[in-house]
Amino acid sequence: MAELILERSVRLEMRAQAHHLQPGVLIGEKGLTEAVMKEIDRALDDHGLVKVHVAGDDRDEREEIYREVAETLSAARIQAIGKMLVFYRPTESEGERSPARGNPGTGALPPPAAGGSILMAKADPGARGMKKPADPAAKKKNAQKKDAQKKSGRRSGKTKAPTVTRARRKPARTTKKAALS
């Protein structure tokens, strides 16, 4: 199975939801066993968003577990901080309204096909950090406001010179000990 890929905005939303969760599955010293995989799969089916605690101290092993669980169970990797891993997979009850199903306008990419990965351009320019195209009516309205301000004289080429304020010196303080000597 392939790992589920989500857009950044959806992942951030899931991270916020997962913040308040308690770990649903604990991976002990034996590591990632078949029973643990079944438990994570059951938790993903029931809840969709699961926080997993890995007890081992080996960072490389945690990264391998994170990657393997996501690929094996077709889940999205949401977050990995320290020993906490967060996974998301849409539940059956969410159906077609799920943000991870790849519906148009939901911000999620479908899982890659068996033969390879899918690259899709995002239709929403705001998702890429670019300005969204402005409404032509709003542009016209702003232009009318500027013209009215120019006619009324509110905006003129003259500007006031900035006033300079100087800091005052603090008076010298003497301590009781210095005053007695």
Q: Which domains does the chain have, with CATH numbers?
A: 8-95+107-113 (3.30.110.60)
Angstrom distance (rounded) from CA 118 to CA 141: 42
Pick from 20-34, 80-94, 165-179: least confident: 165-179
H helix or E strand, kind and range, residue 17: helix 8-18
Q: How confident is the model at residue 63 (pLDDT cuts 50, 70, 90)?
A: very high
pLDDT at 104 over 50: no
Specify whether the CB–CB gap between 106 and 99 falls below 8 A: yes
Two structure tokens written together for 95: 């159906």
Confidence band (pLDDT; 50, 70, 90) for 178?
confident
User: Residue 105: beta bridge partners?
Assistant: none
In terms of pLDDT, which residue wins out, 80 or 158? 80
Say whether pLDDT at 120 is over 60.
no
The lowest-confidence range among 35-39, 99-103, 152-156 is: 99-103
Which segment, 49-53, 95-99, 109-113, 157-161, is predicted with the most confidence on average? 49-53
CA-to-CA distance for 72 and 33, rounded, in angstroms?
A: 13
In angstroms, the CA 181 to CA 179 distance is 6
pLDDT of 35 reads 94
